Structure 1
Amino acid sequence: MKKQWLVGLFLFNEVEVLDFAGPFEVLSITEDPETKDKPFQVMTVSEDGRQIKARNGLKVQPDYSFETAPIFDIVIIPGGYGADHIEINNPVVINWIQAQSMHSEILASVCTGAFLLAKAGLLDDKRATTHWMDIEILQRKFPKVTVLSNIKYVDEGHIVTSAGISAGIQMSLHLVRRLLSEEIALQTVKRMEYDITKI
């Protein structure tokens, strides 16, 4: 088992709060029951490293900019209005996501973060999902993607996508189970008082 994965959570203006806060909570509290080591070091990153304003006004100060960020093992791309309406038109962000795909072990999205992966060409000829309100739009805009509905997450190996907002928690618990063990995932579920049937 790898001792620790460096996780990068991408932040931007108008990001959906639970899209990044859910995975942050899951991965940051996960620990090895025997050694008490933390398998995941979770950091945040934005394009310029400046404070961002998430949906409904929450202000967050990222740890890194694109320029100063380390190489992440896992990169999580959240959604929200800022993803599919703003950052999807930002070539700097799309290029950064493409670069992360080359270096990361896992590149994951939550909600409409899937639109950024699709714009980067990373979902071509793959199965994916997104928020139920955006399923048809994602399929129409990116016909090379097989968009699945009524599912919380889709694991395609290197690429993992999840449905809307709270589904990012389930996806993150799935990653804990995949990378570590069922036991550790269930321990994390218990600590969070999350519904054990939803992982």
Structure 2
Amino acid sequence: MRKRKVGILLYDYVDILDFSGPAEVLALTANNKVEQALSLYKKELLPTRPFEVYTIAETEVEIKTHSGIKVKPDYSIDNSPELDILIIPGGPLRAVQSIVKNSKIIDWIIKHENIDYICTVCTGAYILGETGLLDGKNATTHHLALKLLKDKYPKIQVLSDIKVVHDGNIISSGGVSSGINMALYLVEKIMGRATAERTCKTIEFTYH
């Protein structure tokens, strides 16, 4: 099975769990039980891991998360590697509205419309909504942002009371911790239920 390159978009005031949850799930997913065990003991992740996870921002300058913790992206959108999976995390309304107005980032997202998967966490759906890639598709977001998403992008079929929505090559998820569910769903789609369940045990998380 080929290794998937996963890029997680970062921006100022992004919510940490929105991106760190999926990052941890995918980074700690292994091809088999032996590799899974080794990943818990070695300092460095095994080169054979099925997902290689990067953080990407508009520039490589350190960003400040919603909680104030600072993170330095691995790449900028100008020098990032080609991706198989793009994850767009959410943040407070003012932060995602700023990204929606950033045509450089929006155009960069649109360029990825034909990759294996584009995934959103929480209000990251609001950012993806601006690209038009969600038009005519089912999607979800944080429960407090459902009406906002409907009103701003009426062509999106916004669903409530569901953690993960998959439509075409787009997977959206609800608020904050739902990004973990989304990443596990992604593991199941690509590698099978048994691998997703093994990853659940590794991170001690209950998956549906």
**TM-score normalised to the size of structure 2?**
0.91
**Map of 1:119 onto structure 2:** 130
**Map of 1:93 onto structure 2:** 105
Q: Distance in 2 between matches of 1:83 and 1:100?
A: 22
Q: Distance in 2 between matches of 1:72 and 1:154?
A: 21
Q: Which amino acid aligns with 2:103?
A: P
Contact 1:110 1:161 survives alignment (8 Å): yes
Which structure 2 segments of 5+ residues have no match? 36-47
3-state SS in 1 of match to 2:120: strand
**TM-score normalised to the size of structure 1?**
0.95
Q: Distance in 1 between matches of 2:11 and 2:102?
A: 11
Q: Is 1:143 the equivalent of 2:130? A: no
Q: Which amino acid aligns with 1:136?
A: K
Q: Distance in 2 between matches of 1:164 and 1:42?
A: 21
Q: CA offsets, 1:70-111, max 9 Å, x none?
A: 110000000002652211111111111101223x21000000
Counterpart pick for 2:169 among 158, 163, 166: 158
Contact 1:83 1:116 survives alignment (8 Å): no
Q: Percent identity?
A: 41
- For the aligned residue pairs, the C-alpha RMSD in angstroms reads 1.2
- After TM superposition, the runs of 4+ consecutive aligned structure 1 residues lying more than 3 A away are none
3-state SS in 2 of match to 1:79: coil
Count of residue pairs brought into register by the alignment? 195
3-state SS in 1 of match to 2:112: helix
3-state SS in 1 of match to 2:113: helix
Which structure 1 segments of 5+ residues have no match? none
Q: Distance in 2 between matches of 1:161 and 1:130?
A: 7
TM-fit CA distance, 1:157: 2.7
Q: Distance in 2 between matches of 1:60 and 1:117?
A: 22
Q: Distance in 1 between matches of 2:79 and 2:152?
A: 33
**Map of 1:11 onto structure 2:** 10
Counterpart pick for 1:171 among 161, 182, 189: 182
